[in-house]
Chains A and B, each alone.
Chain A
């Protein structure tokens, strides 16, 4: 049995808590939390009838504790961390969890958030359980909702906010190396070419990339001859079963490589798209599949070299 937080992590949190565990600093934080914009030290002092010296001291301690940040040189706002950990207790209007929780939400919102949970669970499957992701998503929604009068884009905002939080938590716990490119190999059946490409990519670049695969109309199982060719090269299969091409997998990718299914792949801005002409190995004799595999390896190697992760 081990605690969920490391001793380094505990020390950081304890310092943060010590910075905030003071009635005057808490009140300073709450004044800034409910203000409509960044607040100057002078405004804090007058709102709480403190001297400038007192408000300056409180603000300095809160900045050092990572709870406040400076905006425009002299005004202060809460850090995302402060909102996340202490937002609930700083805002008396918000109450303490009453009427909160997913069951108090309208059913259409719940369904929309469930979809966000699905997407993020997929994206962060290497780092978080579904339950954790769900917790982050519903909590992010409530935090955003309680601070907004516009509800139109709340689900979209929740998606981005929760994704940012998850990425931040994952990288702060050392779970995720920032800047590890995510490659998505797409072919028609997700049974041959994309499987070959994924296996070669993994063997060439190891943990320096994330690899996913998908198919525009996935087969029921990986082509056994393809699996055999991979086994001959002692390459483990990356994806255990053919998966449909969905928006989520494309959204999660940095580089999308299509092989024979170009048009069916949704195009999103900010992703690099490559289309490779590789023969479909379906029904081909094993000698031919070995050649296809070698051809795929060559292209994968070129690609990985071009992004600086080939060994």
Chain B
């Protein structure tokens, strides 16, 4: 970004109300925990893969093939993200389909772009 654009954004900020309360500790802790879930290259790539997939859902097999990682590794990350509520898991017979929880979809796109 050229310098003048940064200057414009900073001037714009100057015009906001001066004393806004910063993020409180409770909110910061909650957000930090959510971000920690994403702070891993494999998990980011899994999320990116799901986001780029046609139906927004993928199988473990598709993940191991596309990312060239081993199945236990993929399962570990998937389990963790399901527990954190980032991913949803749907069982179809012998397969599980993983998709991004709609509550997180927008934030994840923001982090992936």
Residues of A within 8 A of B (CB): 1-5, 7, 10-11, 13-15, 17-18, 20-27, 30-31, 34-38, 47-48, 77, 80, 83-85, 88-93, 97, 135, 144, 147-150, 157, 160-161, 164-165, 168-169
> With contacts A17-B38, A147-B9 known, is A4 near B51, CB below 8 A?
yes
A89 to chain B minimum Cβ distance, whole angstroms, is: 6
Instruction: Kindly identify which residue among B46, B53, B54, B111 contacts A17, using a CB–CB cutoff of 8 Å.
Output: B111
Q: Are A34 and B8 in contact (CB under 8 A)?
A: no
Q: Inside 8 A of A83's CB, which chain B residues have their CB?
A: 9
State the majority secondary structure of interface residues on B.
helix
State the majority secondary structure of interface residues on A.
helix
Q: State which residues 31-60 of B face A: CB under 8 Å.
A: 31-33, 35-36, 38-46, 48-49, 51-54, 58
Q: Are A7 and B25 in contact (CB under 8 A)?
A: no
Q: Inside 8 A of B49's CB, which chain A residues have their CB?
A: 1-4
Q: How far is the CA of A301 from the CA of B31 in the complex (A)?
A: 58
Q: How far is the CA of A228 from the CA of B53 in the complex (A)?
A: 44
How many B residues touch A, CB cutoff 8 Å? 52
Residues of B within 8 A of A (CB): 1-2, 5-6, 8-10, 12-16, 18, 20-25, 27-29, 31-33, 35-36, 38-46, 48-49, 51-54, 58, 62, 66-67, 106-107, 110-113
Q: Are B51 and A23 in contact (CB under 8 A)?
A: no
Q: How far is the CA of A92 from the CA of B68 in the complex (A)?
A: 40
Q: Are B44 and A5 in contact (CB under 8 A)?
A: yes
Q: How far is the CA of A157 from the CA of B62 in the complex (A)?
A: 42
Q: How far is the CA of A23 from the CA of B36 in the complex (A)?
A: 11
Instruction: Kindly identify which residue among A10, A80, A91 contacts B41, using a CB–CB cutoff of 8 Å.
Output: A10
Q: Are B16 and A1 in contact (CB under 8 A)?
A: no
Q: How far is the CA of A113 from the CA of B55 in the complex (A)?
A: 29
A-B contact pairs, 20 of them (CB 8 A): A2-B49, A2-B52, A3-B46, A4-B49, A4-B52, A10-B42, A20-B32, A21-B38, A21-B39, A23-B29, A26-B23, A30-B22, A30-B23, A48-B22, A144-B12, A150-B12, A161-B1, A161-B5, A164-B1, A164-B2
Q: Inside 8 A of B44's CB, which chain A residues have their CB?
A: 5, 10, 13-14, 17
Q: Are B2 and A92 in contact (CB under 8 A)?
A: no
Instruction: Kindly identify which residue among B22, B35, B67 contacts A21, using a CB–CB cutoff of 8 Å.
Output: B35
Q: Are A4 and B48 in contact (CB under 8 A)?
A: yes
Residue picked from B33, B44, B67, most chain A C-beta under 10 Å: B44
Q: Are B9 and A23 in contact (CB under 8 A)?
A: no
Residue picked from A135, A148, A150, A168, most chain B C-beta under 10 Å: A148
Q: Are A47 and B12 in contact (CB under 8 A)?
A: no
> With contacts A13-B44, A21-B35, A147-B9 known, is A1 near B18, CB below 8 A?
no
